[in-house]
A and B are shown apart, each in its own frame.
Chain A
Amino acid sequence: MRAMAESSKPNIPRRRLNLGKLRPWVQTAFLAVWLDPLLLRWHSVPGCVFHCYACPLATVACPIGLMSQFAAMHMWPLMILGVLITVGGIFGTAVCGWACPFGFFQDLLGKIPTPKYSIPSWLGYGRFVTLIGLVLLIPFFFGDEHPLFFCNVCPAGALEAALGQSIYRGQLFIPNTIKLIVTGVVLFLAFFTYRPWCRIFCPLGGIFAIFNRFSLLYLHYNAPKCTECNLCRSRCKYDVKLDQSINNASCIRCMECTNCPAITLTVAGKTPKTPEANPPQPVPGK
């Protein structure tokens, strides 16, 4: 009886949740967390997003700024590494796509209707150059007074700290020339490509990109379901070839591609169902 009742259910396809539409709301909610509405000032806690601790509204400390400082002091930043490995191991680059305030700012700039150009994927290695060069090596060998010390070139510092402090203290703070140039270039590029800082320069994005292939949450490409409609590639703003290398280092997990039925957000250890793995059961009585 039960089998018959189940077989008589109409085969209505389940409506997919559009995660991409949910993203700006989640980013706004996280912005409220990072901008310290409760005046907690947890500056002894390293955060997991790119948000300058010199900003008058900063709840937690920027992990990249702290890593540079620890490199300058010749110390291992164990707490920062612990936080980044834990968060990266669970979410991967979803942190960039859903929680990072500087990424959200670039997303808003990307909504300005200007022509958008794709950038070559090899530029993504720039993130590792920034991480190794400006965050680790230069502070380690030359200290924090070097003009290329990461905090001295960081555009988030220029926007959040200099601008924020100018508004907060009512006194004009002008960042140094290199920082102004980097900020200008990033803002200019943000009009013509999506998230230029995150894709070319961001050292934190580089760290999380390493975890994309191992994280607990990941995107699964179900090839048998693919109808080659190209929906996933057309939806992706970051030029990821989803049917060839999903969970690529360029992906920020904006989840726009999950509109395609062949791509699903999955938790590791849970094998997504495929048509081959679960063939349709024969209806009893036929």
Chain B
Amino acid sequence: MARKKKKMRIKPQPPIDKWGHPSGTRSWWVAAMLVIIGIALAGFATTRKHDIFNDGKVVLSEGQLIQAVTVGGPRKPPPPPPPKSELDLAIQQFLGDQADALTDQGPQDAKKSGETTPNDFCPT
């Protein structure tokens, strides 16, 4: 009768590295290097300045830039409107202040009606 072979299960053993430690162990210097690199990066970041629009007018430190980003981001001011034509000036003169009041009311009405944009929630 063929003898029934007992299945031998080999217990998993971690391979031994060249220092004689099981391979699960690790040296502290890799983590220490990472921590030093991280602190050096953060430290260097605190000293650098950002010229936001490359015109020398808005120069922020990294912390100020992050602060600006979290409240809506540094935005370039919109360009001034083109000079009005004579007809536009005449209409404005005719309507008086009512024209400005009407144009200003538009966006406020939109806000009141609850219309939102995606960036209302994550200021970008």
A residues whose Cβ falls under 8 Å from a Cβ of B: 43-46, 52-54, 61, 65-66, 69-70, 72, 75, 78-79, 81-90, 144-145, 147, 149, 151-152, 154, 157-158, 161-162, 165, 171-176, 179, 211, 214-216, 218, 220-224, 226, 228, 243-244, 246-247, 266-272, 274
Contacts and interface: CB of A to CB of B under 8 A. Distances in A.
Contact of B121 (A84, A162, A271): A162
Contacts of A267: 28
Interface in B85-124: 114, 116-124
Interface centre among B40, B120, B121, B123 (most CB of A within 10 A): B121
Given A69-B124, A221-B24, A89 B45 contact: no
Contact of A53 (B24, B34, B70): B70
Given A81-B41, A85-B38, A85-B41, A161 B66 contact: no
22 contacts: A53-B70, A66-B69, A75-B50, A78-B44, A79-B41, A81-B41, A82-B44, A83-B42, A85-B35, A89-B34, A144-B124, A145-B124, A157-B122, A175-B118, A215-B31, A216-B28, A222-B22, A222-B24, A247-B24, A269-B26, A269-B29, A271-B25
A82 B25 contact: no
Nearest to B120: A173
A44 B70 CA distance: 8
Contacts of B35: 85-86, 89-90, 216
Contacts of B37: 85, 89
B22 to A, nearest CB: 7
A234 to B, nearest CB: 17
A221 B28 CA distance: 17
A90 B39 contact: no
Nearest to A68: B124
B30 A221 contact: no
B69 to A, nearest CB: 5
Interface in B1-38: 9, 11-14, 21-22, 24-35, 37-38
A79 B66 contact: yes
Interface of B: 9, 11-14, 21-22, 24-35, 37-46, 48, 50, 62-67, 69-71, 73, 114, 116-124
A244 B121 contact: no
Contacts of B117: 176
B66 to A, nearest CB: 5
A108 B41 CA distance: 36
Contacts of A171: 114
A44 B114 contact: no
Contacts of A65: 70, 122
B70 A61 contact: yes
A179 to B, nearest CB: 7
Nearest to B74: A73
A272 B35 CA distance: 22
B30 A147 contact: no
Contacts of A144: 73, 119, 124
Contact of B42 (A86, A224, A272): A86
Contacts of B21: 271
A268 B31 contact: yes
Contact of A158 (B27, B65, B121): B121
B102 to A, nearest CB: 25
Contact of B41 (A82, A90, A226, A228): A82
